[in-house]
Amino acid sequence: MEKTANMTEVKTTGGTTKKKSKGIKTHYDSKIFTVINSLIMIIFVVVTLYPVLNTVAISFNDGIDAVRGGIYLWPRKFAIKNYETVLAMENLITGAKITVARTVLGTLSALVVNALLAFVVSRKKFIFKSQLSLFWIITMYVNGGMIPVFLLYRNMHLTGTFWVYVIPGMVSAWNMLVIRTYMQGLPDSLEESAQLDGAGYMTVFMKIISPLCKPVYATVALFVAVGQWNSWFDAMLYNRMKTEYTTLQYELMKLLSSVMQQSGSAAAASERGAAAAAITPLTIRAAATVVTILPIICLYPFLQRYFVTGLTIGGVKE
Amino acid sequence: MAQEKKKTKSEKNIGKTKITLKEVKRQKSLLIISFFVTVYGLIFYYWPLTGWIMAFQNFKPAKGILGSKFIGLDKFKFLFEDAVFLRVIRNTFCMGALNLITTTITAIAFAVLLNEIRSVIAKKTVQTISYMPHFLSWIIVTGILHDALSSTGIINDLLMRIGAITAPINFFAHPKYFWPIVAFANCWKETGWNAIIYLAAITSINPDLYEAASIDGAGRLQKIFHITLPSIKPTIMILLMMNIGNVLNAGFEVQYLLGNGLVQKVSQTIDIYVLNWGISQNDFALGTAAGIFKSVVSIALIVICNQIAKHTGEERLF
C-alpha cells in the first residue's frame, strides 16, 4: 500500500525523482529475484541430496524397523549389521574385485589406445588423416545393434570371460575426438622443432604431446572409469552364467529386484521378518549402495576441473 | 626449402600431403598404429553390420549366415503387424522426446539461475552437488527412486501430510505415472551435468551487454530473457540436434530396471523388445530386424536435423 502511494506521488512529480523510483523498483525486483532464486537452488540441492542421505540413513538402520518406513535423514534404530552382512557377501566381494579390475585395466587400455589414435589423426601431415577420422566418426552413428554384437562376441569366445569388459569398448570415437580436439589446439611448432632435432613421431608423442595433454587425459580417464565402474548390462548379457565374473552393479541390480518383488507386501514382509534375522533386502541394498558409491563420491569433487574442461572441449566449439 | 614449400601447400588444403615413399617411411609409426586400430575397428564396429543380413533370413545359429535360408522381408512384416512392437515404438519415441525436452529445459534453467547466484562459494557448492547424480549408475538411481516412491517413501509421506491423498499411491503399479517418473529420473540424474556446457556458454557472453542493459534499466529477469538466453541459443540448438539423433538410444536402462508387469504396456522400449526376442527367445533374426529399424530411424533423424539446421542457418554437426 505504502509503495503504491509512493509511486503515484513520484509519477506526478517529474524528472529526477522518477528516475530514482525506477532505481528503487529494480532494486526491489532484484531482491525478490535473489530470494526466489535462492529458494529454487535450495530446493534443487535438497532434491539432489535427500535421496542419497536417506539411503545412508536406511543403511545404518535395523532391517525390520526400516521396512515400516518413516526414516528420513537419521537412522531410527541404529545397526551396523547391514554393513557386516554386505562385506561378508561372497558375490559382492567377487563383484567388487572384478569391478576394480575392469575399471583399472579398462581405463588404462582405453586411454593409451584413444590417445595414440587421437595423436595419429591430429598430425597435420599424416597421409590418411581424413580417411581415418571418417572411419571412426561413422562408428558414432552406425552400429550393428545388440544381437549381431552379441553373436560376434560369442563367436570370438569373448563371452564368459573377463576380457569382454575391457576389449570391446577400448576405442570410442567420442573419447578419441575429445583428445584430438585438445591436441589440435597445441601449437604445431612444438612438433616441428622436435622433429628438426631428429625426433620420430613416437618420441614426439611420448615426450612432447602427452605431457601437455594431461588435463584431457584425466578427463577421458574419468569418463571411461565411471562408465566401467557403473556398467552392469554387459555382465548380465555376456557373463550371466559366470558368477566369477560378476560385477558390483550387477549384484546390486539383483538386490534391487529382490526389494521390488518384496515391496507392495511390506507389511507382510515385516511380519515374516520378525522371525528372521534383523536384515532385509531394503537395508542390505542401501548398505551395498553406499559401499558402491563411496569411492565415486569421494573422488569426483577433486576431478571437477578436468571434466568441466573436457566437456567444454567436446561440446562447444567456439 | 622443399619441406617449407610442402608445408605451406599442406596448410592451404588440409590433409593433402602427397603419398611418397619418403613420407610413408617417415610416418611408419603412425601407419602401424593406424593399421592396428583400423583392424580393431573393422572387427568390433564394422563386422557386426554384416549381421544385419540375419534379419532377412530364417536364421539358424548352427548354420550361420552363409548357410541360412533367405526369407526376404518376412521378419519386418511380422514386426509391423505385431501390436506389441508398434506400442514399443510409440513408447520409445514418446519417452525419448519427453526426456529430451524436460532434461534440456531443466539444464538450461539451472544453468541460467546458477549463473545469477552472486556468492562464489554458494555457486561452487551447488554446482559440485549438482554433478553428483551423474556419477551414480542407473541401478543406484532407480533403487533410490524406488525407495522415494514406495508406499512408505518420502513422496507418499509428503502427499499424505499435506492432505493431497488419503492412502499411499503405488506409483509403479499405474501406467500413467511411468513416463513422468522416467522423465524425472533423467532430470534428477543429468540436470547438473548437462548444465556444464550451458554454463560455459554463459560465461563466454560479453559482460558489456549486461552493463549496457543495466544502464537502460533492465531488470534481472529481462536480462536473462533478452541477453543470456539469446546468447546461448546456438549452443542449445547444436546440443538439441546431437541429442535428437539419440532419442531412440535413450530408452533402455531406466525402463528395464523400473518396468514391471503392471506397466509393461507403457514401459517397454525397442531395446527391451530386442533383448526379449533376440536374447531370451533366441530369435536372432527378429531382434536384429528391430535393431535395424532403430538404427535407420536414428540416422534419418540425424540427417533431417542437420538439413533443417543448414536451411535455418544454424551451426551444423557435419
Torsion of CA B286, B292, B293, B294, to 10 degrees: 110
Residues of chain B with pLDDT under 50: 1-15
CATH label, A90-315, candidates 2.60.40.790, 1.10.150.120, 3.30.200.20, 1.10.3720.10? 1.10.3720.10
Please provide residue A309's backbone torsions phi and psi, each rounded to the nearest 5 degrees.
-65, -40
Q: Is A148 on the interface with B (CB under 8 A)?
A: yes
- Tell me, what DSSP letter sits at residue B228? I
Question: What is the Cα–Cα distance from A195 to A107, expressed in whole angstroms?
Answer: 30
- Tell me, what DSSP letter sits at residue B167? S
Cell of B19: 603419398
| Contact residues on chain B for A252, CB-CB shorter than 8 A | 137, 139-140, 143
Domain segments of chain B as ranges: 18-70, 74-312
pLDDT of residue B46: 94
Query: Which tens digits make up the pLDDT trace of A220-257?
Result: 999 899 999 999 999 999 998 888 999 999 998 888 77
Burial of residue B43 (CB within 10 Å: 0-12, 13-18, 19+) is middle
Pick A289's closest partner by Cβ from B54, B113, B143: B143
Domain segments of chain A as ranges: 2-59, 90-315
Sign of the torsion angle spanned by Cα atoms A168, A174, A179, A184: positive
Give which of B68, B124, B125, B137 to mutate to test A binding, by max A Cβ within 10 Å. B137
Query: Which tens digits make up the pLDDT trace of B93-128?
Result: 999 999 999 999 999 999 999 999 989 999 999 999
Q: Which A positions 158-177 lie with beta carbon below 8 A of chain B?
A: 167-168, 170-171
Question: What is the Cα–Cα distance from A297 to B129, expressed in whole angstroms?
Answer: 10
| Complete DSSP assignment for A276-290 | S-S--HHHHHHHHHH
CB-CB under 8 Å, A145 with B143: no
Which is nearest to B32 in space by CA: A132, A260, A156?
A132
pLDDT of residue A199: 86
Q: What share of chain A is helix, strand, coil (3-state, %, to 5)?
A: 80, 0, 20
pLDDT of residue B178: 92
Is the pLDDT at A1 greater than 80, yes or no? Answer: no
pLDDT of residue A314: 58
Pick A226's closest partner by Cβ from B113, B135, B217: B135
Is the pLDDT at A15 greater than 50, yes or no? Answer: no
Give which of A27, A147, A201, A219 to mutate to test B binding, by max B Cβ within 10 Å. A147
What global pTM score does this model have? Answer: 0.84
Task: Give the C-alpha distances (Å, rounded to integers) separating B316 from B9, B175, B235, B302.
Answer: 28, 38, 11, 11
Which is nearest to B140 in space by CA: A83, A286, A178, A48?
A286
| Contact residues on chain B for A150, CB-CB shorter than 8 A | 278-279
CB-CB under 8 Å, A304 with B23: no
Task: Give the C-alpha distances (Å, rounded to integers) separating B163 from A15, B112, B157.
Answer: 53, 34, 10
Q: Is B142 on the interface with A (CB under 8 A)?
A: yes
pLDDT of residue B6: 45
Contact A245, A161 (CB under 8 A): yes
| Contact residues on chain A for B288, CB-CB shorter than 8 A | 145, 147-148
CATH label, B74-312, candidates 2.40.30.10, 1.10.3720.10, 3.90.1300.10, 1.10.645.10? 1.10.3720.10
Q: Which A positions 207-266 lie with beta carbon below 8 A of chain B?
A: 226, 229-233, 237, 249, 252-253, 256, 259-260, 263-264, 266
pLDDT of residue B283: 87
- The angle at the Cα of A14, spanning A11 to A15, to the nearest 5 degrees, equals 120
Tallying the residues shown for chain A, one arrives at 318
pLDDT of residue B85: 92
B70, β-bridge pairs: B57
pLDDT of residue A26: 65
